[in-house]
Chain A
Amino acid sequence: MSKDDEYDYLFKVVLIGDSGVGKSNLVSRFTRNEFNLESKSTIGVEFTTRSIQVDAKTIKAQIWDTAGQERYRAITSAYYRGAVGALLVYDIAKHATYENVGRWLKELRDHADNNIVIMLVGNKSDLRHLRAVPTDEAKQFAAENGLSFIETSALDSSNVELSFQRILTEIYRIVSNKALESSGDVIRPTGGETINVNPNSGDVAAAGKCC
C-alpha cells in the first residue's frame, strides 16, 4: 500500500444536486485545486479521494460525484448505499436548483442509510449580483431539516475546503463518539462495503476495541 494511502478512517461521501450547480468543480477544487468554467458534464458517477487531518487522525474521503440529470437517478442512487456523508449542492443564483433540494432529500431518504450526515451547500457564492436564494432562507431550511449548511464558491475557492472539512469532521465525531459509547462493530457504517475502516490501521482497530 502506498504511503499516501495510509489513513485512520475512510468515509464515503456523495455529491448530489441538480445538473450544472457545480458539483464536479467543488470536487476538483477540493481534491486538485482546479476549476474549469466549461468542463464536460459528469456521466454516471465519478470517483476521487482526498485525505485530511482531524485530531491528528487521517481521514480519507472517498468522494463519489454524481451526474445531476434526472435520467441518471436510477444509476446514481445505487451509490448512496454505504455513504456516511452527502453534500447536497444547489446554485445560489438559480432558484429552481434550491427548490429541488426537497426532492434530493427524498432520494437520500429512499436510498441512503438513515444516519447519513447531510450538508446543504449553496454554491457559486461569487455570483453576488445574481443571487436568487437568500442565505438566511437556506440556513433556516437546513436547520429545520437537520442539515448543516454552508455557502461556497468553487470558482474563487471560498469555503470549499471548509465545507469538506466540516462534514468530514462531523462524521468523524459521530463515529468516534459511537465508538466510545458502545462496543462492537460501530465504526463500520451500515451496508457500506467500501467504507470499511482500513484493516491495516492500528489506530482504528484500537478505537474499536477500546471500550
Chain B
Amino acid sequence: MGDLHLIGTEHQTDAVYALQRSKQKARFLKFKDMLQQPVVDLDVLRKLSWSGVPTAIRPIVWQLLVGYLPCNSDRRNVALERKRKEYQDGVQQTFARGIEGLDQTIWHQVFIDVPRTNPKMALFQNQTTQRCLERILYCWAIRHPASSYVQGINDLVTPFFLVFLTAYIEEDQDPESYDISLLPPEILSAIEADSYWCLSKLLDGIQDNFTHAQPGIQRQIVKLRELICRIDAPLAAHLQSEHVEFIQFSFRWMNCLLMREVTLQHTIRMWDTYLTEHPHGFSEFHLYVCAAFLTKWSAELMRMEFQEIMLFLQDVPTDDWQEKEIELLLSEAFMWKSLFHASPMHLGGSK
C-alpha cells in the first residue's frame, strides 16, 4: 500500500518511518475492521477516508462512498451481479446493430477522444481498455441526452477504471502499465460495468456542468472569483488589472476537476476526499480546492503580466508534487469551506 498519507521529509530517521508505518498499519486495520461489519457505517467510513484510502481497499471503499455498493454486506453480491448484468444487457442492446446503428455524432466524438485519454499511459493506450471506455462513454451519453458526451468526461472515467483494476492485480503491479488484455473477460466486464455505474453516480452530482452552455461551470467560476476576492484580494485585483478573466483559466479546472493539472495518482488521492462529501464533493468542495490551488501561486502570479499569467495557469508547475502537496491543498480547501460555506453572505458582500 506504500505511502498512504503520511509523507515524510528527507531528514526523517528510521524511527520516524517505523512510527509512520505502524500508524499506517493501524489505519489500514481500522478500515479493514469497518469493512468487515455486516453494515458499514457510512459516516465513519467518510471520516476515515477523508485523509486518504489505502490502495488495497480503495475499490470497495469508493464503491461504498459513491453509493454504488450497498452498506449492508448481505446485499452486496446480489446488487453487484444485478448492476453488472444490467450494464452488459444495455451494452448488448445499444451495440446490437454495430457501429452503424449508433448515433454517429456522439460515437464519432467518443471514438476520437478515447485514444486522446491519458495518451502517455500504457493502460489507456491499450486497445482493450479503449474499447471499454468507448462503450462506457457512449452508453452514458445516450442515456443522458440533456448533456450527452462532453469532452473531459473521458478524463473523469479514468480514476474509476484504474482503481477498480487494482482489485484484480497483484499489489506490486503498477496498474498504469498493466497489460489489461491478460485479464479474463468476466473480470474485464466487471471493471467496465463498475466504472460505468460509478461514473454515472459522479456525473449525477455535476450534470449541469455539461448541459447546454454549461451553467454549472459558469456558476462555479463566478463563485471562485468571489472567493478569491475574499481570501486573496490583492491577487483578485491583480488579475483584474491584467484583464485576466477567471473563465479563461478556471474553465478547464471545473470541466475536468483539475485532472489536467495533477497526475492521475494525485487525482485519485483527491477523489478519496471528494467522495466523502459525495454528492457535493465534485462541485462544492472542488470549488474550494480550486481556490486553494490558485492562491498557492499567488506570489508568482503577482509578479506576472497577462500573457505570463495565462501561460502559467494553463500549465501549472505541479510536476514535482508529492502527495503531501495534494493533502495540503485539501486541508486548505477544508478550511476555506468551513469559513465560507455556511455563510454565503460573506461572499455576496465581496464585490
Contacts and interface: CB of A to CB of B under 8 A. Distances in A.
Interface of A: 1, 5, 19-20, 36, 38-49, 62, 67, 69, 71-72, 74-75, 78, 193-194
Contact of A38 (B115, B148, B248, B260): B115
A69 B112 CA distance: 11
A67 B115 CA distance: 17
Nearest to A96: B108
B206 interface: no
A133 B214 CA distance: 34
Nearest to B152: A43
Interface string B242-271: 010001100110011000100000000000
A71 B252 contact: no
Contact of B260 (A19, A20, A40, A48): A40
A74 B214 contact: yes
Contacts of B260: 40, 43
Given A47-B248, A49-B307, 17 more contacts: A19-B113, A19-B151, A40-B116, A41-B151, A41-B154, A44-B255, A45-B248, A46-B314, A47-B311, A71-B147, A71-B214, A72-B150, A74-B213, A74-B214, A75-B214, A75-B247, A194-B243
Interface residues of B, number: 32
B109 interface: yes
23 contacts: A1-B305, A5-B307, A36-B119, A38-B115, A38-B125, A39-B119, A41-B151, A42-B151, A43-B151, A43-B255, A49-B307, A67-B151, A69-B150, A69-B151, A71-B148, A71-B151, A72-B150, A74-B212, A74-B214, A75-B213, A75-B214, A78-B247, A194-B243
A24 B117 CA distance: 15
Nearest to B120: A38
Given A39-B119, A40-B119, A20 B314 contact: no
B68 interface: no
B252 A19 contact: no
B210 A71 contact: yes
10 nearest CB pairs, A to B: A38-B119, A44-B251, A74-B213, A20-B112, A43-B252, A47-B310, A41-B151, A71-B150, A69-B151, A43-B255
B157 to A, nearest CB: 14
B31 interface: no
A48 B113 CA distance: 23
A72 B149 CA distance: 12
B116 A43 contact: no
B210 A43 contact: no
B99 to A, nearest CB: 15
A72 B151 contact: yes
B125 to A, nearest CB: 8
A44 B116 contact: no
Given A1-B305, A38-B116, A75-B247, A19 B255 contact: no
Interface string B201-222: 0000000001011100000000
A36 B116 CA distance: 10
B311 A48 contact: yes
Contacts of B314: 46-47
Interface in B101-135: 109, 112-113, 115-117, 119, 125
B306 interface: yes
B307 A75 contact: no
Contacts of B117: 40
Q: Choose among A19, A36, A41, A74 the residue with the greatest number of B CB atoms under 10 Å from its CB.
A: A41
Interface string B310-343: 1100100000000000000000000000000000
A49 B307 CA distance: 8
A40 B248 CA distance: 18
A40 B115 CA distance: 9
Contacts of A74: 212-214
Contacts of A20: 112
A67 B243 CA distance: 22
B307 A43 contact: no
B83 to A, nearest CB: 28
A46 B310 CA distance: 9
A69 B247 CA distance: 18
Contacts of B147: 71
A69 B109 contact: yes
A139 to B, nearest CB: 26
A117 to B, nearest CB: 22
A160 to B, nearest CB: 20
